[in-house]
Amino acid sequence: MTLSYDAVADKLASLAKRRGFVFPSSEIYGGAGATWDYGPLGVELKNNVKRAWWRAMVQLRDDIVGLDAAILMHPRVWEASGHVQNFIDPLVECGNCHRRFRLDDLRDGEELIDQWRGGKVDLSDVPCPVCGMRKLADPRRFNLMFKTFVGPVEEEASVAWLRPETAQGIFVNFENVQQSTRRKLPFGIAQVGKSFRNEITPGNLIFRSREFEQMEMQYFCRPEDAPLVFESWLGTRRDWYREYGIRDDLLRFREHAENERAHYAAKAIDIEFRFPFGWKEMEGIHNRTDYDLRRHSEYSGKDLRYFDEAANERFLPYVVETAVGADRAAYALLCAAYDEEPDKEGVRVVLRLHRDLAPYKVAVLPLSKNEKLTPLAREVAVMLRPHLLITYDETQAIGRRYRRQDEIGTPLCVTIDFDSLEDRQVTIRDRDSMAQVRVAIADLVPALRERLGV
Ligand code: GAP
């Protein structure tokens, strides 16, 4: 890479918009405040990330099953889970410019957060990050959940919350899943779905937004097994990122201090990724103990204890969860994949995405837009389409089209030239090495499959 890693965020922001990965939501109205729409390439990328996670976490394991729970849940769920009471950020308003901030966005934010958690924080000497005046009000508790109403009447009795984590759908279905699948401990339940948080300071493209997707897995085990289960998930999840192209120097583990942990966690370790704007949480691994099942038992009146036949005992399982944002993971994977290298036309931008994550697997390119080449190129495209996600492009010079595919991470290009008309062979070009090899059209599908590992 010839460019500095710090510059990658700006490069990706421009690439994301220009090439159709991500657009600001409702852009023609000026945007909808930290919500994003995924364009034709972005939706493929994010689906591939979710698919890769689901495959590793559900389909390749015999101890984890899937679930897709509703976003709107009974309001008591969020009282039981502790979110109504505790899902709070400290919000600070400037008395001069009236901008609002999270406490940790201020100078020495981490220290201020520690003071706030200790019960007393002094902001008299802290400047506003925007206007510089020392007129910040004391922090107030701001609940991050979005409130709405179910049915036609907007009253307290019809309040509903947009879920801020997918996990609660899993906890309230623990007994349904356990009994319908006749699972014995230990086993996990996994889910991918939308979550919503009214973030005070969203930002950095899709890193922190108000509507996002989570990929969460809750692993239920005997209480005494939770520490070992926790350790093993650290390695399993780090290996998953490695497999999909995140180098070790871009990943680290960071354990939460006691006063930093979420209200449900007895132990929490973040898998942090080195984003171009600093080390940030990508995934959280938490030992949630029996907190959630216990609270739901209390609030619903339903005994959620598990019966262990062998031991002839009834108890509430402990839960180790792995929780990652699909958007945040997709962004990290883009950062890790972004590369630039000098070439004879200046700079070649390459997204070195893992082939399973790349939006398109193959680009079909006639050497030039020519009436003799087009029919054969289209024939090749039609032949490939049922097998692989392809794109077809015949505008501009072939070098420019290779660059366009490199920039969006397409692993392979197939070029149809004038010799192809005679010998029915085409050229396969590899994105990373730029090596080219001639293959008979009759052998093209297996040749591409082999290179793509599918
Ligand atoms: N169930 C546990 C839980 O939700 P979390 O650490 O609050 O834990 C898990 O969130 C993951 O969800 C984070 O590591 C991050 O990847 C993603 N996430 C959280 N808030 C987000 C936001 N506002 N925008 C995008 N992703 C977010």
Please enumerate in sequence order all residues whose Cβ is within 8 A of that of 241, keeping only pairs 6 or more positions apart, or say none: 251, 271, 282, 332
**pLDDT tens digits for 32-65?**
888 999 999 999 999 999 999 999 999 999 999 9
- Which residue CA neighbors atom 25 of ligand 1 most closely? 208
Q: Kindly state whether residue 319 falls inside one of the protein's structural domains.
A: yes
Please work out whether the CB of residue 57 comes within 6 Å of at least one atom of ligand 1.
no
Count of domains for the chain? 3
Q: Based on the domain organization, do 314 and 242 belong to the same domain? A: yes
CB distance 199 to ligand 1 below 6 Å: yes
**Rounded mean pLDDT of 429-454?**
97
Residue 208 in contact with ligand 1 by CB distance below 6 A: yes
Ligand 1 neighbourhood includes 193 CB (under 6 angstroms): no
DSSP assignment of 372-401, as one string? THHHHHHHHHHHHTTTS-EEE--SS-HHHH
Q: How far is ligand 1, taken at its centre, from the CA of residue 323, in Å?
A: 7
- For ligand 1, whether the C-beta of 212 sits within 6 Å is yes
**Which residues have CB under 8 Å from 428's CB, separation 6+?**
412, 413, 414, 436, 437, 438, 439, 444, 447, 448, 451
In a domain, 132, yes or no: yes
Ligand 1 centroid vs 350 CA: distance in angstroms? Answer: 29
Structure tokens at 406: 């490199």
278-289/318-325 β-pairing: antiparallel
131 and 150 fall within a common domain = no
| Dist. CA 123–CA 141, nearest whole Å | 15
Answer whether residue 353 is part of any domain: no
Q: Is the pLDDT of residue 2 over 70?
A: no
Domain boundary residue, one of 114, 143, 172: 143
The pair of structure tokens assigned to 384 is 């490939």
Residue 272 CB less than 6 A away from ligand 1: no
Domain check: are 295 and 232 in the same one? yes
pTM, two decimals, is: 0.95
The answer to whether the CB of 213 falls within 8 A of the CB of 195 is yes
What's the pLDDT at 118?
86
Q: Note whether 232 and 238 are within 8 A (CB).
A: no
- Please tell me whether residues 44 and 185 are part of one structural domain: yes
CA of 443 to the centre of ligand 1 (A): 45
Whether 171 has a pLDDT exceeding 60, the answer reads yes
pLDDT at 349 over 70: yes
Task: Tell whether 255 and 366 lie within a shared domain.
Answer: no
Distance between Cα 416 and ligand 1 center (Å)? 46
The CA distance from 258 to 266, in Å, is 8
Residue 244 alpha carbon to ligand 1 centre in Å: 20
CA distance linking residue 214 with residue 200, whole number of Å: 19
Q: Which residue has the tokens 């919500």?
A: 35
Each residue's pLDDT tens digit, 133-152: 999 999 999 999 999 999 99
User: Is there a single domain that holds both residue 116 and residue 259?
Assistant: no
CATH number at residue 238: 3.30.930.10
Atom of ligand 1 nearest to the CA of 270: 14
Same domain, 191 and 323: yes
Which of 334, 349, 375 is where one domain is finished?
Answer: 334
Both tokens assigned to 153: 């009447």
Residue 69 lies in a domain: yes
Flag whether 440 is in a domain: yes
Same domain (yes/no): 222, 272? yes
CATH code where residue 373 lies: 3.40.50.800
393 within domain boundaries: yes
Cα of 200 from ligand 1 centre, angstroms: 14
As a whole number, the mean pLDDT across the chain is 96
Rounded to whole angstroms, the Cα distance separating 348 from 342 reads 6
CA angle 3, 4, 10 (to 5 degrees): 90
Q: Is residue 447 part of a domain?
A: yes
pLDDT band, very low/low/confident/very high, at 258 (cuts 50, 70, 90): confident
Q: How far is the CA of 214 from the centre of ligand 1 (A)?
A: 7
- Residue 282 in contact with ligand 1 by CB distance below 6 A: yes
- pLDDT tens string 59-109: 999 999 999 999 999 999 999 999 999 999 999 999 999 999 999 999 999
Helix (H) or strand (E) holding 36: strand 36-38
For residue 327 and ligand 1, the question of a CB distance below 6 A is answered with yes
- 39 shares a domain with 133: no
User: Which structural domain, as residue segments, surrounds residue 424?
Assistant: 360-452
Tokens 């090495």 correspond to what residue? 433
Q: What is the dihedral of CA 191, 170, 146, 266, to 10 degrees?
A: -100
Q: What is the distance in A from the centroid of ligand 1 to the CA of 216?
A: 10
Instruction: Indicate whether residue 237 lines ligand 1 (CB < 6 A).
Output: no
Whether 197 lines ligand 1, by a CB cut-off of 6 Å, is: yes
User: What secondary structure letter does DSSP report for 184?
Assistant: -
Based on the domain organization, do 242 and 133 belong to the same domain? no
User: Residue 10: inside a domain, yes or no?
Assistant: yes
Same domain assignment for residues 41 and 154: yes
Same domain, 61 and 162: yes
Using alpha carbons only, give the angle 243, 248, 250 rounded to the nearest 5 degrees: 110
Boundary residue ending a domain (334, 369, 393): 334
